[in-house]
Amino acid sequence: MVELVDMQEWAQPFSQMQLPVPTTRRYRTHCQATLCGGHVCLVLTPNGEIKIFGDGVQLFNFFDGRWRLTDAVSKYQAWEAAIGSKDLAERLFSAGLNLAEHRRGGMFVVLEDPKHARHLVSGPDLLETDPGNRGGAKNLLHYLLRKTRANELSPAVLESIAQIDGSVVLDRDSKLLAFGAILRHRPPADDNEDIGEGGRTAAAIGASQFGHVLMISEGGQLSFYWKGHCVWTL
């Protein structure tokens, strides 16, 4: 052992520097601590996962009995390019990482054309639906979130509505179209596509015919779907 250090103090000189990719709140300090100087940080997480950080990003993790190369930079770049909005891409990616870290499942669907929302979501689940035609406890939340954009929500609120059973559906301008929505979906475009978690994965594959989907599994994985296929898993 050379020295014991406090991670917050070690990372403080780099706290205002931009990270290469968004990260979870829990490990932001660890990423900052490795931004400069060639330092490497190894963490054993509360979930029993081993994470290795370097150059300001997670490089590897030991998960489900095997080591994985994270390749977070290229995966995030693909996601950002697909969404076409840096702010929206970052918010959804960060929210997805935080949900995955806490083993909370969820799904974000960014539609290419908001008119496709009615192909995916039943009328009562759409935020634009007249409140008089909708019942249940979600009615008040629908009223509060109508005409709201994801970019205007705090990260905590965005993550909270993403945890409600169903999916968060948005357009490319970050306007919320639905949340807690049970999606209509078609069978997979490719019979060889791994269905994995079952209903959630099938819904992600179906929804990806209309836009870009970020699916969070309760096992802690983040997956990007587009046009019926999984582009990457993190």
Tokens of residue 214, six digits: 């970020």
In the chain, the number of structural domains is: 2
The answer to whether residues 79 and 186 belong to one domain is: yes
**What is the rounded (10 degree) CA torsion for 155, 156, 162, 165?**
180
Mean pLDDT, residues 173-193? 73
180 is in which domain, residue-wise?
72-233
Least confident span in 1-15, 28-42, 204-218 = 1-15
- Residue 196: is its pLDDT beyond 60? no
Which CATH number does the domain housing residue 165 bear? 3.40.1700.10
For 38-87, list the strands marked E by DSSP. Answer: 40-44, 50-54, 57-63, 66-69
Please state the pTM of the whole predicted model: 0.87
Per-residue pLDDT band for 134 (boundaries 50, 70, 90) equals low
The answer to whether residues 178 and 211 belong to one domain is: yes
- Residue 91: is its pLDDT beyond 90? yes
Residue 1 belongs to some domain of the structure: no
The answer to whether residues 63 and 76 belong to one domain is: no
Domain boundary among 24, 39, 68: 68
* pLDDT for position 138: 60
Mean pLDDT, residues 121-130? 80
* pLDDT for position 130: 66
Report the alpha-carbon distance of residue 71 to residue 42 in Å, rounded: 16
Least confident span in 137-141, 201-205, 215-219 = 137-141
